[in-house]
Amino acid sequence: MLDSMDFRLCVRRNLRVTIFDSPRDCKCLLAEVDVYGDHALSCKPDGGVVGRHDAICRVIHRLIREALYDCATELTYDLPGAGKKTYRADLVVVMPIPGVTTRKALLDVTVINPTAKYLAKAASKDPEVAMNAGIDSKHYKIDVEKINELGFDFLPLSFEATGGFDANTENACLFFLGEKAKFQNREFAEVSAEFWHSLSIVIQRWTAHMIRNRLYEATTQV
């Protein structure tokens, strides 16, 4: 659950009501903290970006395990023919995910901020722009061909900092939700609602946390 302040901050953001009185310099020295708190969702100081990423990984990992699939976290692999280059996977699923992968898979969570200045205009017209930007970023940074040589499919799980996610992420989660529902002998709708609610709360909580840090900084600068 969200505490009262977190809830108010998330409501203000969702309604596009200003949170800060005026823009101010950010400690990252790369941008201003804007009045809506958009910059805070992708600003790295204070560990919010990493904390949000890890929290989402934990939610996905728990779902996969509850579906009775083996899933390891943060395993590091030596990439063939790449010298000392390695790749550390967020999640490793040792069986195919029907409809999504054909082999065991390395899952890599990425969270993109659709309100970032370089994305905001395009993302406001096409809801897939931000998710695709996250996927493209992963493919740019990671040698997918080397991962294929290891015998894995590479699966980016792309989330928006505002709560959206790409089609492959949705399809993978729906499969595991179906398996979990069968194992627990529960209605799929009930299991699914619990999961998406949990995931949404995690993302919203970290949104509020990252903005609250900037609010604290604003008050200490006065």
**Residues spanned by the domain of 201:** 4-221
pLDDT at 68: 95
Distance CA 77, CA 92 (A): 11
pLDDT at 183: 95
pLDDT at 217: 65
pLDDT at 216: 66
Q: Per the structure block, which two tokens stand in for 25?
A: 């310099």
- The structure's pTM equals 0.92
pLDDT at 209: 92
CB 45, CB 39: distance < 8 Å:
no
Length of the chain: 222
How many structural domains comprise the chain?
1
pLDDT at 117: 86
Distance CA 204, CA 172 (A): 22
Question: DSSP string of the chain?
Answer: ---HHHHHHHHHHHTT---SSS-EE-TTSSSEE-TT-TGGGG--GGGHHHHHHHHHHHHHHHHHHHTT--EEEEEEEEPTTSTT-EEEEEEEESS--TTT-SS-EEEEEEEE-TTSHHHHHHHHH-THHHHHHHHHHHHHHS-HHHHHHTT-EEEEEEEETTS-B-HHHHHHHHHHHHHHHHHHT--HHHHHHHHHHHHHHHHHHHHHHHHHHHHHHHHHH-
Query: Which positions of the chain have pLDDT values less than 50?
Result: 220-222
Return all residues near 130 (Cβ < 8 A) that are at least 6 apart.
112, 113, 114, 119, 123, 160, 164
pLDDT at 25: 84
